[in-house]
Chains A and B, each alone.
Chain A
Amino acid sequence: MKKKLHLILLIAGALVLAAGLYCFASICGMKDAVYAGYGVSFSDAAFQSVFMNDHDEAAVRADFNAAVLSGTGDSAAEGTDGTEAPDGTEAPAETEATGAETETAPAAAAAGAPYDTVIGSFSRVSSLRTAWRLQGIFLPVGALLCLAGLVLILRGKHLDFASIMRSKITWAVIAEILILIVCLIIRPDFFSISYQPSNHMLYGNLIDIINRSAEITIIGMGMTMVIALGGTDLSVGALVAVSGALALKLMRWDPTNPLYQTPGDYTVYPFILVLAVPLLVCLLMGLFNGMLIGRLKLQPIIATLILMVSGRGIAQIVTNGKQYTTMYSPFRWIGQGSCLYLPTPIVITVVIVVGVMLFVRKTAFGTFVESVGINANSSRLSGINSRAIILIVFALTGLLSGISGLIYSSRIMSNDSNNAGLNYETDAILSVVIGGTSMTGGKFSLAGTVIGSIIIRTIVTFVYFFGIPADATMAFKALIIAVVIVLQAEPVRVWMAKRTERRALAKGGAMK
């Protein structure tokens, strides 16, 4: 039974996934038909307001025709969504498709066509409704089942139930799933994913959560190892600001122009330089941190405090206190474009996460980091160059902060030395800790950090769905994090382990 478990999981996952994909395809088919026939891309928001109101056929027909013919189903609303600050303050990006109803209603009545061509019968409408609700549940659940099956196949030998339950990551995953379930109860279509043909991108809350967590996840990859070494890097937020400031400065700087500024839609320096210089500077700043910690043996928290305090000052001096904006489209692609039907930041994040994981686990680097984090003396005497390890880890964190800074400033198409990367250090540290890496150093889990960062972003989304003012997000973040951390706290886990053990003993005794 146990040996077959992975097969069962895989098959079930594939079936559910296929069902989800079928639902997804049927919705896409409808949307494509609209796009092909009327040149209008039919947005999620429009879809929702037309189909989800449980109206009868006549109302749906009128709504649909109005939305398609007026072209309100365009994706403008979704596009602006990406430019807002990712701190949870964004407003609901719902397009009021019905608002245009009054003026286009006569035209729709005259034509009458879109509904009959695209939809046909009312039973199609109700099946679309069902598809819309189900695909959001089928897709993630199927993916999860497949993932579990794959994990079992790959790592099956080393897994046993007790150690899984003891693992901190398990609790983080359970917490994430609980939050998502609550979201699902509040909004049944929370998980729904849809495709937007106009900019070749998938939309949906899940995708948005992952998209918005990109910056923290990227920094978290470095931070995980910094914490595994027993330290913390407080300077990441400031480096995000520095990176953005440098990128914008270079993009707008024109030595030949009397105003020393380009209008913002082209760059004087090659674009690659615009990207490379901020990254290089952040790498060097990370190296500086690493030197202080590895060579001068300073405490990481205080060594990185230096750049945290002065970094934003440096960013301000780079731009002379100005806030530049740009319209340069290749730069926009980094934060707002799409790649492989996904928002570019997700793709960048996946590439970085996989890259770092390969580097850490396929070489002996991860073991060395853990070894130095657990016992620096022993490691040195075993011939490990702990100084080099520290240097690499902090330089890497600096570089990743730089990448994160580019994504951030591309999202807002501007630099903001005061607010760029604000509180990123705390968010990154929290994701690492929620992901199960101990603040005292030692064993670390990069996958855990990814989950931690997604949890933090989910909380923000969750709070937003509750309709709570964005400013109060912090209080809820605090509450949920407190619960996760208390569950993970060593005394609590020991107590629970003892309780289960005692129960098992009691059971065993009774059997005897």
Chain B
Amino acid sequence: MPEEVRKQTNEPQNILEMRGIEMQFPGVKALDGVDFFLRAGEIHALLGENGAGKSTLIKCLTGVNHKDAGTILFDGKEITPTSPQNAIQMGIATVFQEINLCPNLTVAENIFVGRKEFKRKIINAKARELMQRFHLDIDVTRPLSYYSTAVQQMVSIARAVNIESKILILDEPTSSLDENEVQLLFAVMRELKAAGMGIIFITHFLDQIYAISDRMTILRNGRLVGTYDIGEINKLQLVTLMVGKDMENIFDLHPVQVAPDAPDTLKAEHLGAPGPVADISLEMKKGELLGFAGLLGSGRTETAEMIFGANRPTSGKVELKGKAVVVKKPFDAIMNGVAFCPEDRKRDGIVGDLSIRENIMLAVQAKRGFLHPLSRAEQNELADKYIKALSIATPDAEKKIGELSGGNQQKVILARWMATQPDLLILDEPTRGIDVGAKAEIQRLMLEMCKDGVSVIFISSEMEEVIRCSNRIVVMRDGKKAAELTGPFDSETQSKILQIIAEGGEAS
């Protein structure tokens, strides 16, 4: 693969031409001379690791940030979007990663607020029509907060699609959608593409890129790597280009051997809560890594939360290290040696304005109670130890955790729990939304902890990761345990798991 930067030729059908875009944040050059060209009637994937500059580029285009240098040609005319409103008026519609709608407005109002139409009757009828296009049969006069995240995401896409715009930007639209909904979205995208709209598609899921995109542009560290047709490079080449280093031996990881006579760490019987999960039984040995596979919403997270006490189970019992325990709140679980890295790092994990040191010591301190504080020296020692051990990239322990990159934040959360010296560590999607290098590092850490005798529950949407690291895999489907596979695993395991998930779906 040629490593030199490939530039596109100036083609007449380009609807959008961004040239030499530069953007400076305090201390960082977020974009450094990036070129990006979008044709009418194509789906163009924008790729790169976290911090590569994808979002910043989009924000320059939609007027959220203002570029420092470079030109944007839209439809042959130079534009400088000053605000999202301005961009929308020019014909650039955006669906952001986080749902940007108003939960108190009705579905119809959310789609049409700020538009020409605003009479209730008209917008309700139009909204109903629009939602039918997405095969969603919902009451559009209810407040948005009434519906699930997936529906909300579809509504936000519907809102963007409904604008008579020439460019549609989809920033990670699929992260909260299940497979069916993704297919629906793709169908709509194809329709729009046929109508001549240019679509910029940002996602972390490589499969989806190959399923829908025509071309892709790769960014790395704020610089352009190149633009390729979809058939031009394969997945491995793509990942290599994104990461900038050879992928082959990054993921040279293997499950840790568990002694057959190791004592049980966790024994959960018939755990259940109305709605999400029913009748889950688990058993784990010391030093074992148990993988959870299954689709989003299949009950993986809910099971983990029940063990940790974040949600109270209504039935069943839990034994930790052979002792029956009642876990009413997270604190009880922590006192019994359980640790839990939640799925939504930003909402449930980090305490943004506190320093790395304070974030690391939080759980240990909670375990001790606030009347028995760690001295400043002990805190510093703890923080320095884990910053070194997990190679957290930071100048010092006093930096705010909110200012770190996603991967480093995740490492700090991991450090918070490692510091409590748990017997059972539950990791819910620890690798989501972080770059490939950090992913590998986190998995390596996980396996090292297993070696030290910690039992780990590893939940991830990326099946390859689960298969690579686990001793056993629990496959979840529709809030129930569908199967339990015991290692060692081979290349066929993935298709087997997929089959279990898919067939289960058919059966019900």
Binding site for B on A (CB under 8 A): 158, 362-365, 367-368, 370-371, 374-375, 377-385, 442-443, 501
Is B348 an interface residue when CB atoms closer than 8 A count as contact? yes
- Kindly provide the distance from the CB of B414 to the nearest chain A CB, expressed in whole angstroms: 13
Q: Assuming A363-B370, A367-B365, is B330 touching A382 (CB within 8 A)?
A: yes
Residues of B within 8 A of A371 (CB): 351, 354, 358, 362
- Kindly provide the distance from the CB of B304 to the nearest chain A CB, expressed in whole angstroms: 11
Q: Tell me the bound Cα distance from A368 to B372 in angstroms.
A: 13
Q: Tell me the bound Cα distance from A374 to B372 in angstroms.
A: 22
Q: Assuming A378-B349, A385-B331, is B354 touching A365 (CB within 8 A)?
A: no
Flag if A377 contacts B331 (CB, 8 Å).
no
Q: Tell me the bound Cα distance from A378 to B412 in angstroms.
A: 13
Which residue among A362, A364, A367, A383 has the maximum number of chain B CB atoms within 10 Å of its CB?
Answer: A383
- Kindly provide the distance from the CB of A268 to the nearest chain B CB, expressed in whole angstroms: 39
- Kindly provide the distance from the CB of B406 to the nearest chain A CB, expressed in whole angstroms: 15
Residues of B within 8 A of A375 (CB): 347, 350-352
Q: Which of B301-322 contact A (CB under 8 A)?
A: 308, 310
The total of chain B residues at the interface (CB under 8 A) is: 32
Q: Tell me the bound Cα distance from A251 to B2 in angstroms.
A: 91
Flag if A364 contacts B351 (CB, 8 Å).
no
Residues of A within 8 A of B362 (CB): 367, 371, 379, 382, 384
Residues of B within 8 A of A158 (CB): 398
Residues of A within 8 A of B331 (CB): 383-385
Contacts A370-B351, A381-B310 given; 6 further ones with Cβ under 8 A? A374-B354, A381-B348, A383-B366, A384-B362, A385-B329, A443-B353
Residues of B within 8 A of A377 (CB): 347-348
Flag if A368 contacts B330 (CB, 8 Å).
no
Q: Tell me the bound Cα distance from A367 to B370 in angstroms.
A: 9
Flag if B352 contacts A382 (CB, 8 Å).
no
Flag if A365 contacts B330 (CB, 8 Å).
no
Flag if A368 contacts B370 (CB, 8 Å).
yes
Is B373 an interface residue when CB atoms closer than 8 A count as contact? yes
Is B383 an interface residue when CB atoms closer than 8 A count as contact? no
- Kindly provide the distance from the CB of A508 to the nearest chain B CB, expressed in whole angstroms: 15
Chain B, residue nearest A361 (CB): B373
Q: Assuming A362-B373, A364-B374, A371-B362, is B351 touching A383 (CB within 8 A)?
A: no
Flag if B351 contacts A381 (CB, 8 Å).
no
Is B342 an interface residue when CB atoms closer than 8 A count as contact? yes
- Kindly provide the distance from the CB of A362 to the nearest chain B CB, expressed in whole angstroms: 7
Flag if A365 contacts B370 (CB, 8 Å).
yes
- Kindly provide the distance from the CB of A164 to the nearest chain B CB, expressed in whole angstroms: 15
Flag if A383 contacts B334 (CB, 8 Å).
yes
Which residue among B308, B329, B367, B370 has the maximum number of chain A CB atoms within 10 Å of its CB?
Answer: B370
Is B340 an interface residue when CB atoms closer than 8 A count as contact? yes
Residues of B within 8 A of A443 (CB): 353
Q: Assuming A380-B330, A381-B310, A382-B330, is B365 touching A364 (CB within 8 A)?
A: yes
Is B416 an interface residue when CB atoms closer than 8 A count as contact? yes
Which residue among B26, B358, B373, B374 has the maximum number of chain A CB atoms within 10 Å of its CB?
Answer: B373
Which residue among B334, B352, B366 has the maximum number of chain A CB atoms within 10 Å of its CB?
Answer: B366
Chain B, residue nearest A372 (CB): B351
Flag if A374 contacts B351 (CB, 8 Å).
yes
Residues of B within 8 A of A384 (CB): 331, 362, 366
Is B1 an interface residue when CB atoms closer than 8 A count as contact? no
Residue in A363, A364, A370, A378 whose CB lies within 8 Å of B348: A378
Residues of B within 8 A of A380 (CB): 310, 329-330
Flag if A370 contacts B353 (CB, 8 Å).
yes
Flag if B350 contacts A378 (CB, 8 Å).
yes
Chain B, residue nearest A387 (CB): B329
Chain A, residue nearest B310 (CB): A381
Chain B, residue nearest A442 (CB): B353
Q: Which of B408-450 contact A (CB under 8 A)?
A: 416
Flag if A383 contacts B370 (CB, 8 Å).
no
Is B371 an interface residue when CB atoms closer than 8 A count as contact? yes
Chain B, residue nearest A377 (CB): B348
Q: Tell me the bound Cα distance from A365 to B370 in angstroms.
A: 5
Q: Tell me the bound Cα distance from A378 to B372 in angstroms.
A: 21
Residues of B within 8 A of A383 (CB): 330-331, 334-335, 363, 366-367
Q: Tell me the bound Cα distance from A384 to B420 in angstroms.
A: 14
Flag if B330 contacts A381 (CB, 8 Å).
yes
Flag if B330 contacts A374 (CB, 8 Å).
no
Q: Assuming A362-B373, A381-B340, A385-B331, is B352 touching A374 (CB within 8 A)?
A: yes
- Kindly provide the distance from the CB of B493 to the nearest chain A CB, expressed in whole angstroms: 32
Question: 27 A-B Cβ contacts within 8 A?
Answer: A158-B398, A363-B371, A363-B372, A363-B373, A364-B368, A365-B370, A367-B354, A367-B362, A368-B366, A368-B370, A370-B351, A370-B358, A371-B354, A374-B351, A375-B351, A375-B352, A377-B348, A378-B349, A378-B350, A380-B330, A381-B349, A382-B334, A383-B330, A383-B331, A383-B363, A383-B366, A383-B367
Residue in B308, B335, B353, B374 whose CB lies within 8 Å of A374: B353
Q: Tell me the bound Cα distance from A364 to B367 in angstroms.
A: 12
- Kindly provide the distance from the CB of A292 to the nearest chain B CB, expressed in whole angstroms: 20
Chain B, residue nearest A392 (CB): B370
Q: Tell me the bound Cα distance from A375 to B358 in angstroms.
A: 13
Q: Mark contacts of B222-243 with chain A using CB atoms, 8 A cut-off: 1 yes-contact digit, 0 otherwise.
A: 0000000000000000000000
Residues of B within 8 A of A381 (CB): 308, 310, 330, 340, 342, 348-349
Which residue among B329, B362, B373 has the maximum number of chain A CB atoms within 10 Å of its CB?
Answer: B362
Residues of A within 8 A of B308 (CB): 381
Residue in B335, B352, B358 whose CB lies within 8 Å of A367: B358
